[in-house]
Amino acid sequence: MEISVDLSVLMTKQDWDAAQPTLADKLRQVGVEAKSIALKLVSSPCSNSHVLTDEYMMKNSGPVPGEIYRVVINGTSDLPLARVASTVAEVLPVDGYWIGSAELGHTEFEPGADTEYCRW
């Protein structure tokens, strides 16, 4: 089935850069065939409050170790739809700090200056 995963994740740009070259293969191994992957910076720890930075600060001391990124993955999967978002999050470098969902179909990602695309 055609699926779209739209996640907000707490991670560093360096973690994304390190994970990105093998991400499509890792997704394939867990049952998600990515047709496109897009990333956009949403906020830095110094900007407006975000539920993920709030959660991190409630559980940890010290500065938030990263920024909030929006990750949109369009592709196909035979996994139950309720499991797709968490399965995708497991292969991202997010250390458990993510929110989002999966839905049937395709999500258009509005391009901007901070958007990176990968297509397979």
How do the domains of the chain map onto residue ranges? 2-109
Digit-coded pLDDT (tens) for 46-84? 555 788 888 888 898 878 888 899 999 999 999 999 999
Element (H, E) at 23: helix 13-29
Percent of the chain with pLDDT over 90: 59
**Are residues 61 and 46 in contact, defined by beta-carbon separation less than 8 angstroms?**
no
User: Which fold would CATH assign to domain 2-109?
Assistant: Alpha-Beta Plaits (3.30.70)
pTM (two decimals)? 0.85
Which residues, 6+ apart, have CB-to-CB distance to 32 below 8 Å? 3, 5, 73, 75, 76, 77, 79, 84, 87, 88
Q: How far apart are CA 107 and CA 56, in angstroms?
A: 28
Cβ neighbours of residue 114 closer than 8 Å, sequence gap 6 or more:
40, 41
Task: Please say if the pLDDT value at position 112 is more than 70.
Answer: no
Residue the block writes with tokens 């990176």: 116
Rg over alpha carbons for the chain, rounded to the nearest Å, is 14
